[in-house]
Homo-oligomer: A and B are copies of this chain.
Amino acid sequence: MKNRIKELRAKKDLTQDQLAEKLEVSRQTIISLERERYNPSIILAFKLAQIFNCKIEDIFIYEEEK
């Protein structure tokens, strides 16, 4: 699943480390998400939407890929 995390994070001028702290996850998790190595839990998705002040659908692009 594609996502705009890197882009949105840059817009907020946050480092991966800072974003990780806000989300209460490890930096590795941010890296892996941005690199689209795996999909987030729905809880992480909600937290991201909260931080970026938008909808989950604005961050993640679901394309039926499974």
Binding site for B on A (CB under 8 A): 1, 39-43, 45-46, 50, 55-57, 60, 62, 66
Contacts and interface: CB of A to CB of B under 8 A. Distances in A.
Contacts of A55: 55-57
B43 A56 contact: no
A66 B60 CA distance: 20
Contacts of A42: 1, 39-42, 45, 56, 60
13 contacts: A1-B43, A1-B46, A39-B41, A39-B42, A41-B41, A42-B45, A42-B56, A43-B62, A45-B56, A55-B56, A55-B57, A56-B56, A56-B57
A50 B62 CA distance: 10
